[in-house]
Structure 1
Amino acid sequence: MPIETITKAGRRRYRWTFERIIEGGRVRKAKLLPAGISRKEADDLARKWEADQYAHLSGARKASVTIGDCVQAHVTDKGSTWKDGRKRMLILKKWAPEYAEQDANDLHAWSTKFVGYMRASADHLGRPKRPLSDAAIRNVLAYIRASIKYAHKIGRIEVDQTARMVIPAVNNERHHYPQRKEMLEIARACKHREVRAAIRIAFYSGMRRGEILRAKVSRQGYSLDDTKNGRPRIIPIHPRVAVLARRVRFTLTVKQFEEAWKKARTAAGHPNTKFHDLRHGAASEMINAGIDLFTVGGVLGHKSVVSTKRYSHLVTDRLAAAVGKIGQKRGNLV
Structure 2
Amino acid sequence: MPIDTITKAGRKRYRWSFKRVIDNRSIRKTKLLPAGISAREADELARKWEHEIYAIASGARKPVVTIGECVQAHVADRSRHWKDARKRIQILEKWAPEYANQDATDLHEWSKHFVGYLRAARDHHGRPKPQLSDGSVRNILAYLRAAIKYAHKVGRLETDQTAQLVIPAVKNERHHYPQRREMLEIARVCENREVRAAIRIAFYSGMRRGEILRAKVTRYGYSLEDTKNGRPRIVPVHPRIAVLARRIHFTVTLKQFEMEWIKAREAAGHPDTKFHDLRHGAASEMINAGIDLFTVGGVLGHKSVASTKRYSHLVTARLADAVGKIGQKKQGA
Normalised TM-score (structure 2): 0.73
Establish whether residue 278 from structure 1 lines up as the match of residue 275 from structure 2: no
Give the whole-Å Cα distance in 1 for the aligned partners of 2:129 and 2:319: 50
User: Aligned residue for 2:133?
Assistant: 133
* Pairs aligned (count): 275
Task: Summarize the alignment of residues 137-152 of structure 1 with structure 2, pairs less than 5 Å apart.
Answer: 137-152=137-152
* Deviation for aligned residue 1:112: 0.7
Correspondence 1:302-317 to 2 at 5 A: 302-317=302-317
Residue 179 of structure 1 corresponds to which residue in structure 2? 179
Tell me which residue corresponds to 1:169: 169
| Residues 1:73 and 2:52 are matched in the alignment | no
- Alignment correspondent of 1:256: 256
Contact kept, 8 Å, 2:74 with 2:150, in 1: the verdict is yes
Structure 2 gap segments, 5+ residues each: 1-54, 329-333
Amino acid at match of 2:274: K
Instruction: Kindly provide the amino acid, as one letter, of the partner of residue 271 in structure 1.
Output: P
Cα distance in 2 between the residues matched to 1:62 and 1:294: 47
SS in 2 for 1:141: helix
- For residues 276-326 of structure 1, the C-alpha deviation after alignment (integer angstroms, 9 at most, x for no partner) is 111111111222222222332233233332222211111233322455588
Structure 1 residue aligned with 2:157: 157
Q: For residues 80 and 293 of structure 1, do their structure 2 counterparts lie closer, same or farther at Cα, with a shift above 3 Å needed?
A: closer
Counterpart code for 1:239:
P
How far apart, CA to CA, are the structure 2 residues paired with 1:59 and 1:74? 28
Partner of 1:267: 267
1:70-105 Cα distance to aligned partner (Å, 9 max, x none): 323333444444332222222222212222222222
1:244 aligns with 2:244: yes
Structure-1 separation of matches of 2:226 and 2:68: 35
Q: Name the structure 2 match of 1:6.
A: none
| CA RMSD of superposed structures (Å) | 2.7
For structure 1, list consecutive stretches of 5 or more residues without a partner in the other structure.
Answer: 1-54, 329-334
Look up the match of 2:88: 88
* Offset at residue 219 of structure 1 (A): 4.3
CA distance in 1, matches of 2:287, 2:77: 46
Q: Which residue type is aligned with residue 175 of structure 2? A: H
- TM-score between both structures, scaled by the size of structure 1: 0.73
Q: Give CA deviations for 1:210-254 in whole Å, capped at 9, x if unaligned.
A: 222233334443333443334443333333223323332222222
SS of aligned partner of 1:115: helix
Aligned to 2:47: none
Residues 1:174 and 1:128: Cα distance change in structure 2 (over 3 Å): same
Query: Using a 3 Å threshold, how does the CA distance of structure 1 residues 75 and 290 change in structure 2: closer, same or farther?
Result: closer
The alpha-carbon distance between structure 1 residues 301 and 134, as it changes in their structure 2 partners (threshold 3 A), is same
Show the counterpart of 1:235: 235
Equivalence for 1:14: none
Summarize the Cα distance change of 1:263–1:79 in structure 2 as closer, same or farther, 3 Å threshold.
same
2:95 aligned counterpart, secondary structure? helix
Q: 1:193, 1:236 → 2: CA distance?
A: 22
Pair 118,279 (structure 1): closer, same or farther in 2 beyond 3 Å:
same
**CA distance 1:129–1:150, change in 2 (3 Å):** same
Does residue 115 in structure 1 map to residue 109 in structure 2?
no
Partners of 2:316 and 2:129 in 1: how far apart?
A: 46
CA 1:108–1:191: 2 relative to 1, 3 Å: same
In the TM superposition, 1:95-114 aligns within 5 A as 95-114=95-114
Worse overlay, 279-288 or 155-164: 155-164
Task: Give how far 1:191 is off.
Answer: 0.5
